[in-house]
Amino acid sequence: MSGILLLEQSLNGLQFGLMLFLLAAGLTLVFGIMDMINLAHGSLYMLGAYLMATLAQATGSFLVALPLAIVATGILGVLLEMSLLRKLYQRDHLAQVLATFALILIANEVVRMIWGAQPMMLATPAVLSGPVDLLPGLSYPSYRLLVIGVGLAVAALLYWLVTRTRTGMLVRAGASNREMATAMGVNIKRLFTIVFGIGAMLCALAGALLGPLLAVQVGMGEEILILAFVVIVIGGIGSIRGALVGALLVGMVDTIGRAFLPALFREFLPPQYAAGLGPGLASILIYLLMALVLFWKPQGLFPARG
């Protein structure tokens, strides 16, 4: 019984972790290569989700809407990079924080203006609305399985892209040593734009896939952005492998902690303490994890810079 529950929660954790990875991958590359703190990364995720919800309503098809939303967000990201963000690479972190914080405010208001303050509904595709029996006693929503499948596929694709292709090699070179990448004759400007565009597309994918599971609403980006930052700090800034490991760690620890810690506390503590302490500790678990990782490995688990 509890084994089944653990398995189910592990699948949830895996699914959440993979979605975090989609967000963290772009963030860690932008951060690692361009040394740029982009607080507006979560806004791209929000925009992706809203575009997806709108396009799904307009076209009536999840499958048609998905690529459209991804491409649209990618284009938005590229335009944003070329018009504004590239001006910030040479500035200090403070200027980047201020500018991208301003972008969050702007994005939230624009979304409110276009879509209104009420959360939007994004329905699961009809085919995938039912559960699947994975094991006797374990039936799991088929949509979540799809999310896991897509997440795994994209993670594998990204890993291949970064470790096996020429562009990926340049990206890694840029993350560990920018001067060297420039010396190798890389068109850094174009590389940055491409990386940013891919990051935006991954944001949109995560937003679109998570849309049916979480509410599509203003402010959704801010919450998940912090989690993505936790992921890349744990993994080591600039490292794709670190982002993957960090995302899975955070996804698992957060999900399993929330599922089991309150019950665990009820076992050992009087109810008046357990009621508050359990959920409280569960929600700070990942931050504790990050503090611990930084304590032992101040550069994260997989430092990209030597």
Partner 1 sequence: MNQRSLAIAGIVALALLPPALQALDQVFYIGFAARILIYAMAASSLNLILGNGGMLSFGHAAFIGAGAYTVGILAAEGVGSAWVAWPLAIVCAAAAALVIGAISLRTRGVYFIMITLAFAQMVYYILVSMKAYGGDDGLNLGSRSAVGFGLDLKDEFTWYYTCLALLAVVLYLLNRMTAARFGRALEAIRENETRMEAIGFATYRHKLVAFVIAGAIAGLAGALLANQSSFVSPKLMHWTQSGTLMVMVIIGGVGHRYGGLVGALVLLGLEELIAEFTLYSQLGVGMVLLGIVLFAPQGIAGLFQRSATRPLP
Residue ranges binding partner 1 (CB under 8 A): 31, 37, 39, 84, 87-88, 91, 93-95, 97-99, 101-106, 108-110, 112-113, 222, 226, 229-230, 233, 237, 275-277, 279-281, 283-284, 287-288, 290-291, 294-295, 298-300
Residue whose CB is less far from partner 1, 113 or 126: 113
Taking the least distance from each CB to partner 1, the nearer of 40 and 120 is 40
Residue 191 makes CB contacts below 8 A (sequence gap 6+) with 33, 167, 170, 171, 174, 181
Alpha-carbon torsion 114, 16, 162, 242, what sign? positive
Coil, helix or strand for 235? helix
Q: Which is nearer to partner 1, 160 or 287 (CB)?
A: 287
Give whichever of 7 and 275 is closer to partner 1, judged by the CB atom.
275
State the nearest-atom distance from the C-beta of 1 to partner 1, in Å: 27
Other beta carbons within 10 angstroms of residue 271's beta carbon come to: 8
Name the minimum Å distance from CB 291 to partner 1. Answer: 6
Closest distance of CB 69 from partner 1, Å? 23
Q: Shortest approach of partner 1 to residue 116 CB, angstroms?
A: 11
Nearest 5°: the CA angle 47, 194, 41 is 30
Angstrom CA distances, 240 to 15, 22, 222, 237, stand at: 18, 10, 22, 9
Q: How far is the CB of 56 from partner 1 (least distance, A)?
A: 26
Q: Which CB sits closer to partner 1, 65 or 107?
A: 107
Comparison of 16 and 143: residue with beta carbon closer to partner 1: 16
Q: Which is nearer to partner 1, 65 or 304 (CB)?
A: 304
Contact residues for 33 (Cβ-Cβ < 8 A; gap 6+) = 171, 174, 175, 178, 191, 192, 195, 238
CA 69 to each of CA 48, 73, 75, 180: distance values in angstroms, whole numbers, following the listed order: 6, 6, 10, 36
Minimum CB–partner distance for residue 251 and partner 1 (Å): 17
Token pair for 173: 């070179």
Cβ 69 vs Cβ 208: under 8 Å? yes
**Strands 131-135 and 138-141: what pairing?**
antiparallel
| Least distance CB 104 / partner 1 (angstroms) | 8
Q: How far is the CB of 247 from partner 1 (least distance, A)?
A: 15
**Which is nearer to partner 1, 13 or 262 (by Cβ)?**
262
**What SS3 class is residue 275?**
helix
